[in-house]
Amino acid sequence: MAADPKALREDVRARYAEAARAVSTGEKQGCGSGSCCATDHDAAKFGEALYDADQRAGLPEGAATASLGCGNPTAVAELREGETVLDLGSGGGIDVLLSARRVGPTGVVYGLDMTEEMLALAQRNKADAGATNVHFLRGEIEEIPLPAESVDVVISNCVINLSTDKSQVLREIARVLRPGGRVGVSDVVAEDRLSPEERAERGAWVGCIAGALSVSEYVAGLEEAGLADVDVTFTHEVAEGMHGAIVRAVKPESVRRELPLVGATATGACC
C-alpha cells in the first residue's frame, strides 16, 4: 500500500523540528548520525561537511550545525550581485546567508520553510549574522508564497526529494522564476535503473532516499514545467545506485506565464 502523503509530510516536519530543537539546545544534530538525511548513511556525505572552512567562516554556529543537505547549491548557482534568490526548504539558513553574501546589499534572498522550529532558528541566525537582505518565509514548497516571475535563481539543498508532489514543486519553481532565470539545486537522485520500490529498499522517505526522483524523472519534470537546458550531474554516491547530484535548468527568455500568488504567511519581512 502506498504511503499517505499527509503522513509523510508530517514525518518530515517532525524530523526537521527535532533537528532544529537539538541545535537550539546545543546538541550537534537531532536526526541521527550527522543529518536527517544521513541517518542510515555516511554523515560525511551530508550536512556541514560539504561546505569548506572558508564558506563556514563568519557564519553563526547554528547555521552551520543545522545544515542537513546533500550538497552545496551556493557553489554551483553562479549567483551575481543584485540578484533575487529563493532557497526552498531553507532550514537553519546556511544557504540563504551564503547567498546573501554573494548577491550583496543590492540583492535579496528569500528562505522558505514549513517548520516553525527551523524558521525560528533561521531568524536567530539571520540576526547573529547581521544580514539585512534576507527574508524567511513560512510555507510549503508546493505553494511558494511569492509572485510569478519574481526571482532570478532558485536553489535548494536535499529538499525536493522530500516532497510528496514533486511535479507541483517543479511547476512552482518555473512560475516564480523570471524569464532567463535559473535553477541550481542539490538533491538526491536515483539511477534510472532503480524502481521506486528499489529506492525505498535503500532508505526511508524522511532519510532523503525513498522519495528521490531518477535522472530521467527529474529531467522530464523540469521540462514539463517549461524549463530548458536541464542537466543532472552526480557528485557522490549516498547509497547503492543513489547519488548526491547537482540539478541545473533555465527558464527560457520567451516564457511568460501570468500565474496567481499562492501560499502562506511570512515570518520575516517580505516583498
pLDDT digits (tens, 9 = 90+) for 3-28: 788 888 888 888 878 887 887 776 55
pLDDT digits (tens, 9 = 90+) for 45-90: 444 555 555 555 566 655 555 455 556 667 677 899 999 999 999 9
Does residue 76 lie in a domain region?
A: yes
Question: Looking at the DSSP assignment, which residues form a beta bridge with residue 138?
Answer: 113
Does residue 222 lie in a domain region?
A: yes
pLDDT of 25: 73
Does residue 155 lie in a domain region?
A: yes
Between 239 and 267, the more confident residue is 239
The pTM score is 0.83
What torsion, rounded to 10 degrees, do the Cα atoms 12, 137, 118, 166 define?
A: 20
Does residue 49 lie in a domain region?
A: yes
pLDDT of 97: 93
Does residue 27 lie in a domain region?
A: yes
Q: What is the CATH number of the domain that holds 122?
A: 3.40.50.150
Does residue 108 lie in a domain region?
A: yes
pLDDT of 263: 47
Does residue 257 lie in a domain region?
A: no
pLDDT of 265: 41
pLDDT of 269: 40
Angstrom distance (rounded) from CA 39 to CA 46:
10
Q: In this model, does residue 32 exceed pLDDT 50?
A: no
Does residue 88 lie in a domain region?
A: yes
Angstrom distance (rounded) from CA 161 to CA 148:
23
If one counts the domains in the chain, the total is 1
Structural domain range at position 128: 5-250
What torsion, rounded to 10 degrees, do the Cα atoms 189, 191, 222, 133 define?
A: 20
pLDDT digits (tens, 9 = 90+) for 141-183: 999 999 999 999 999 999 999 999 999 999 999 999 999 999 9
